[in-house]
Structure 1
Amino acid sequence: MTFARLDHISDLDTLQRMPAWVTSARAETLEDVAFLSGAALNHLHVVLGRAEVPQALLRDRLALSAAAACVAFSGRPEREAELRDAVHLLRPGDLPGPTGETCLAWRRAVERPVSIKALGRALPAFEPGQIATWLDAGKGAPVTRAAMVLEAVLREAPRAEVAALILAEAALPQTFGWDHLLPLLAAGLKRADLRKHGDDLRLACHRALVLSAVDAVRLSVDLARRAAHLKAVAPKLRAKGAGDAVKMFLTRDAVAPSALPLPDRAARRLCDRLVDLGAVRELTGRDTFRLYGV
């Protein structure tokens, strides 16, 4: 079983290589860039179809990248490390603050299959009817639809950049046949792109997706390898509740020991053991208030 799993990961490593012409071609026209983004997205679609890829973990990590991009768009200095802290070190009754809210919105958007109800949970400031109307603004091919949704939201709510990007991302699974939202646009767009319209915005979206698809393929393969190693060492863990803890690591970008289904001291020992086995990493570099992830 172990050798077969490693063979599958080796195959996935080979599949990781995006065709060189996708990333090296100098495309200027909308038609040419659309062709490249279609090729990149098709390659990503094939990789995502592999069972070895930990889908929930991938979505959660891409959600963090999307949230960091949105925070940067707003002019705030926080990056991914600060966003992790804002979400995972919250105590009962604490408010997450603006950056934490952005991160939570993206995490909620990717947690459940795409639906108006799920998007309303991620964007509670907007009525379900308004969300549905904005999504219906998108017509045509996948990226064109996403750009139209993005433009429609920002036309009516110019400051609602997080909502606009989440709903634009939600327009992609509708046409790709994906169950869940996979954040790709936000991390690839520039702040100035959000003020573009029509063909200029579609061109920016296509370019963003070429870059993001390449990164998502690379991340998918890396997480598949890491997840396989975590599953391989899981039988060595003797702590009661270790199996449930492993499942959490396989679905979340970061985990605080206090969130694990073990007593506090046992949770910290388990995290240290997993680090020693090379199955998870400590993400903060701190001696206290640590976070761990695959």
Structure 2
Amino acid sequence: MDTDLKQVLRSSQVLTEAHIQFFIYQTLRALHIIHSSGVIHRDITPANILVNTNCDIKICDFGLAKEESDHGEYMTDYVTMRWYRAPELVMEDGNYSAQIDVWGVGCILGELLGSRPLFQGKDRVNQLDKIVEVIGTPSVETEGFIGSSAARAYLRKKSQRESIDWRQKYPKASSEALDLLKSILVFNPKERLTVIECMRHPFLNSLYDETDEHVNCKPFVFEEEDNQTVHDIKRVIYAEYVRFRQERMEEEHHTTGITNSTSSRTGGPSVETHGEGRSAQQTINKKAPEEGKKWLS
């Protein structure tokens, strides 16, 4: 892959709504497969969404991933770059769910619409303040899900605040895009849209296909690491280095062929989400921006 979404957002490239739909939908498709395997990624940020010149995307960096059913131990809240942490993580709720990944997608959607991160907190408390400034203070009913008594007490001391006017913040965004954004960025994870509900949202109608919901994934079980020695870890790192170097050499060798193949494709940018469901090219053929093929050139 040529770059990541973080670098794209830092560039001068103007993203159309069609590109935003493309990136968000394929990220959701990938998350659906990940979650169907019983895994929470826990680090959904623009830097972990890889992109190439043809708009293919891949989710990377599973270093913080965890089995969703593994609640036998206190689940660490120190996951995801602070700006993309869901409220339940910021407020130290140790029993979070895969909904934290959905929050990350919402943060990315907001960043794609406005070209800057939504919640740029300086520390844990300031991060919570930034979230409240945007989506408002949680209702009394919503407070029940907050696992930390200290966080509940802190929020009660704050003056009541309503959600911002999303239309004023993103005047160029469509009504459907804003509706999806505010339906994701809610305090209570049980009220937050699920991955499937996001995929079905009207904002993504042009790309949605019911077959994308049907996956057949076996639960992924993380290998026990307790018995690994330093030597074992070194061997794994070296093996990964050799694999990466070999792949890079093969990519460089076939660069010309790939470039010619990419330029000959029709129908706009393609996306790639490995796993079950509709193929990337079928997604493209349904509807894709014609100008998108050259957007990173």
With normalisation by structure 2, the TM-score equals: 0.28
Q: Give the number of the structure whose residues are more often helix, by fraction.
A: 1
TM-score where L is the length of structure 1:
0.28
Q: Which structure has more RCO (C-alpha within 8 Å, separation ≥ 6)?
A: 2
